[in-house]
Chain A
Amino acid sequence: MGVATYIKDKKDAIKEVILQSGIKVKPVYTPDDLEEIGFDYQKDLGDAGEFPFTRSIHPLGFRSRNWTTRQYTGFGTPEETNERFKLMISHGQTGLNVAFDLPTQMGYDSDDEMAEGEVGRVGMAVDSLRDFEIAFKDIQLNRIGSGLTINAVASVMLAMYQSVAEGFGYQKTEISATPQNDILKEIVGRGAWIYPVEPAVRLIGDTIEYAMKELPRCNPVSVCGYHIRESGCTPSQEISYAFMIAFAYIDNVVARGYRAEEFVGSFSFNLNIYGNLWETVAKFRAARKLWAKLLRDRYGVQDKKALFLRGIFGGGGSGMTKQQPENNIMRGAYYALAAALSGAQTTALCSFDEAYTIPTERAALLSLRTFQILMDEIGLRDTVDPLAGSYFMETLTKQMEEKILEEMEKVEKMGGMVEAVASGYVQREVGRQAYEFEKKIQSGEITKVGVNKYTEGVDMEVELHEYNDEWAKLQIDRLRKLRQERDNTAVSQSLKALEQAARQKENVMPYLVDCCKAYATVGEMANVFRDVFGQYREPGIF
């Protein structure tokens, strides 16, 4: 029966394939499968660029518009980072994706006790506007868009980005920044949280409201299923949680008296690629379709552009292995292929050395070249959504859609994402999935090449990005000098005004811009919020 009879060596036959999202894959798909799911071209797909956008949000896909490549970049001091930015741009990179070090992400100045050993390590250190002036020097901020990987203090960094651009003579209406600004996913998966959930979500609402009025080309939120998937959830859960998180932010702004239609078009998503190729492509197609439908049905959004699921689809670090690291180059190429087949607007890849440390220049360039080969050499730009109509792909897309809705309903029943996170449900579920998956890798049930199969061979050593202790010293010196040189009366006045706004639940963004322009430090601004809001406490999740 089945495939096994056609294979000479029966021990090599694959008897059962169950995707991580829990969907069984059949060895062969036929027109009967499409009939069974009631496949309807107009209803399920629509033309590219037409509702429900399953195929693409653009009518001509990559033909009319190549994707933006944004390798995650930043380390050491702003000077080092500025050099790497320029290098990547000179090699054809079309957007920036700024990595901040952990003290910056956690709202500590470089000379804070908590920052010790971490300054400039996993990203660039930013203490004040002075650092942004160096990092973005000679970058055309009206032409190059910047992703800012910052969450707990995203409001601060968005204000700082506006401040640096205005200082360089750009209008705030022409700059494009995408701060990550997704605190719920930090609580679930990435851990860079500071404030309790309620005021943290309010800060996100402030940035959305402010961007709607003042920064029309900025995308104030990038909802990150990516990190929740990195933390272990399944591909379908990644979308379920991302959508439920997005609803939490939308609801916050709607409660201020706006219609979702007025601002939701500025949302973007950061979603993950690793694991099964087909499941990945189906996930993105299902997600595009569901997002449009849910926004229409739940929030009455009509404007076509506001229904687009736009995003950065990036190769996930969890797919990369420490063992036989050069294999990660191949993995990266396949993840990039998945991004292309999925119609990504923006892409980034974890570089092959990232299971060790942040990427070297060589590794980062190799990732960029991977994208360029796909788009310019192999023909991935030629036609929109090339897998459309496949018996298998359409069946799988439909099944993914059902799985996504299933988990969304569970969260919905708990009262939404804020409640599901506060109770620890999502964290527990993600941890459980991570454990189950890891056990399957360790038992060999799931194959990982070079890890649990084909492990023989030379253990390849890779050249590593080296951390330089001098960076912390330089950064701290600059910070101390700044504190002496700046107008400290103006600084304390601006911080006082910020505190008052935070207490009175006014939108804090204009006050943050004033603080940034007075050269208040990230730590000083973050501490104002610490005083007013307090700090988040993790629920017990075991």
Chain B
Amino acid sequence: MEKRKIRVLLAKPGLDGHDRGAKVVALAMREAGMEVIYTGLHQTVASIVNQAVQEDVDVIGLSIMSGAHIPICIKLMGMIKEQGLDNKLVAVGGVIPNKDVPTLKGMGVQGIFPGGSYFNDIVSFIETHAPGR
């Protein structure tokens, strides 16, 4: 039986509108055979979690360039726990300084991909860590 394609919700939380990174990563994931749902800009965390449930995704990827990744991730991880979605793989990309990596990992964000990360690394991380793999 063929395995179900990995489903990824790629989200742009908050007010930041720089979406070059999100779009190129979306194209790379699609080329790697994943199903990518892109939220578009200016999403609230609640609406991202809602879409993750609706679309029944395996992975939630956030793209954040404004520097607000920590407050946004705190909110998202809290809401994920509340809703019992702990099995979803969460990854974040964007302008992420090295010093913030332990904080993000500590709250359960497993994948952290700062600007300049390689598509291959992102894809193989998801293929390895997506639930049920």
In whole angstroms, what is the CA distance A108 to B41 when docked? 16
B30 (CB) vs chain A CBs: closest residue: A542
Chain B residues whose CB sits within 8 angstroms of the CB of A464 once the complex forms: 97, 99
Interface residues of B, count at CB 8 A: 35
* Measured CA separation A191–B36 after assembly (Å): 20
Chain A hits for B72, CB < 8 A: 117
Judged by a CB distance under 8 angstroms, whether A370 is at the interface is no
Q: Which residue in B15, B26, B67, B120 is a CB contact (below 8 Å) of A542?
A: B26
Which partner residue on chain A sits nearest B65 by CB separation?
A122
Q: How far is the CA of A538 from the CA of B41 in the complex (A)?
A: 8
**Chain A nearest Cβ from B20, distance in angstroms:** 5
The residue in A191, A318, A542 that gathers the most chain B C-beta atoms within 10 A of its C-beta is A191
Are A192 and B20 in touch, CB under 8 angstroms?
no
B17 engages A117 (CB within 8 Å): no
A322 contacts B41, C-beta separation under 8 Å: no
Q: Give CA–CA (A191, B21) in the complex, Å.
A: 13
Instruction: Given A357-B95, A442-B120, check contact A106 B26 (CB 8 Å).
Output: no
| A297 beta carbon closer than 8 Å to chain B | no
Q: Which of A117, A118, A323, A435 contacts B23 (CB 8 A)?
A: A435
Chain A nearest CB, measured from B55 CB (Å): 14
Interface residue stretch chosen among B1-9, B77-85, B111-119, B124-132: B111-119
Contact of B67 among A115, A121, A435 (CB under 8 A): A121
B28, B38, B97, B98 interface centre (most CB from chain A within 10 Å): B97
For the complex, what is the distance from the CA of A318 to the CA of B116, rounded to whole Å?
A: 10
Contact indicator B97/A357 (Cβ below 8 Å): yes
Alpha-carbon gap, A115 to B16, bound state (A): 11
Query: Is residue B18 contacting chain A, with contact meaning CB distance below 8 A?
Result: yes
Q: Are B42 and A542 in contact (CB under 8 A)?
A: no
The minimal Cβ–Cβ distance linking A357 to chain B, given in whole angstroms, is 5
Interface membership of B108, Cβ < 8 A:
no
Chain A residue numbers with a CB within 8 Å of B119 are 438-439, 442
Report Cα–Cα, A164/B115, bound state, in Å: 39
CB distance from B67 to the nearest CB of A (A): 5
Contacts of A334 in B (CB 8 A): none
- Residue among B20, B24, B42 facing the most chain A CB atoms (10 A cut-off): B20
Which B residues lie within 8 Å of A121 (CB)? Answer: 66-68
The answer on a CB contact under 8 Å between A435 and B15 is: no
Residues in B whose Cβ lies below 8 Å from that of A114 = 15, 44
Q: Which residues of B contact A268 (CB under 8 A)?
A: none
Chain B residue at minimum C-beta to C-beta distance from A535 = B42
A438 CA to B116 CA in the complex, in Å? 9
A191 pairs with B19, CB closer than 8 A? yes
Give the secondary structure class of A's interface: loop
Task: Find residues 433-486 in chain A having any chain B CB closer than 8 Å to their own CB.
Answer: 434-435, 438-439, 442, 451, 461, 464, 467
Contact A231 B66 (CB under 8 A): no
A525 vs B120: C-alpha distance in the bound complex, in angstroms?
A: 46
Task: Assess A431 versus B24: contact at CB under 8 Å? Given A103-B15, A355-B115, A538-B41.
Answer: yes
Q: How far is it, in angstroms, between the C-alpha of A149 and the C-alpha of B106 when the chains are bound?
A: 36
The CA of A190 and the CA of B97, in the complex, are separated in Å by 22
User: A106 CA to B114 CA in the complex, in Å?
Assistant: 25
Q: Number of A interface residues, CB 8 Å?
A: 42
Shortest beta-carbon distance from A183 to chain B in Å: 12
A122 to B17, CA, bound (A): 12
Any chain A CB within 8 A of the CB of B53? no
Please pick, from B17, B38, B68, the residue contacting A192 in the complex, using a CB distance under 8 A. B17
Selected contact of B17 from candidates A186, A358, A461, A541, CB within 8 Å: A186
Of the listed residues A117, A193, A541, the one surrounded by the most CB atoms of chain B closer than 10 A to its CB is: A117
Q: What A residues does B97 contact at CB under 8 A?
A: 356-357, 464
Residues of B contacting A538 with CB < 8 Å?
A: 40-41
Residue of A nearest to B44 (CB): A114
Query: Roughly how many angstroms separate A439 CA and B18 CA in the complex, as a whole number?
Result: 19
Cβ contacts under 8 Å, A356 to chain B: 95, 97
Q: State the CA gap A431–B16 with chains docked (Å).
A: 17
A117:B68 contact, CB within 8 angstroms: yes
Contact in complex: A118, B26 (CB < 8 Å): no
Interface presence of B27 (CB below 8 A)? yes
Query: In the assembled complex, how far is the CB of residue B41 from the closest CB belonging to chain A, in whole angstroms?
Result: 5
Interface centre among A103, A106, A108 (most CB of B within 10 A): A106
Instruction: Name the residue among B23, B66, B118, B120 with the largest chain A CB count within 10 angstroms.
Output: B23
Report B57 CB to chain A, min CB distance, Å: 16
Cβ-defined contact, B20 with A231, below 8 A: yes
A102, B38: Cβ atoms under 8 Å?
no
Is A106 within 8 A of B27, CB to CB? Answer: no
Which residues in A have their C-beta under 8 angstroms from that of B116?
A: 321-323, 355, 451
The docked-state distance in angstroms from the alpha carbon of A461 to that of B66 is 20
A542-B95 contact, Cβ under 8 Å, with A118-B66, A442-B119: no
- Chain A residues whose C-beta falls within 8 Å of the C-beta of B95 in the assembled complex: 355-357
User: Across the interface, which residues of A come within 8 angstroms of B99, CB to CB?
Assistant: 464
CB-CB nearest in chain A for B120: A442
Cβ of A155 within 8 Å of any chain B Cβ, yes or no, is no
Chain A residues lying within 8 Å of B18, measured Cβ to Cβ, are 190-191, 230-231
Known: A122-B16, A231-B19, A231-B20. 18 other contacts (CB 8 A): A103-B15, A106-B42, A115-B15, A118-B68, A122-B67, A189-B20, A190-B18, A191-B41, A231-B18, A322-B114, A322-B116, A323-B116, A431-B20, A431-B27, A438-B24, A538-B40, A541-B23, A542-B27
Q: Can you list 26 pairs linking A and B with CB atoms under 8 Å apart?
A: A102-B14, A106-B15, A116-B71, A117-B72, A118-B14, A121-B66, A121-B67, A191-B12, A191-B16, A192-B15, A232-B24, A321-B116, A323-B116, A355-B95, A355-B116, A356-B97, A431-B24, A434-B23, A435-B23, A435-B27, A442-B119, A464-B99, A538-B41, A542-B27, A542-B36, A542-B38
Question: Considering the complex of A and B, which 8 residue pairs feature the smallest CB-CB distances, nearest first?
Answer: A191-B17, A117-B71, A102-B15, A431-B23, A117-B68, A435-B27, A538-B40, A435-B24
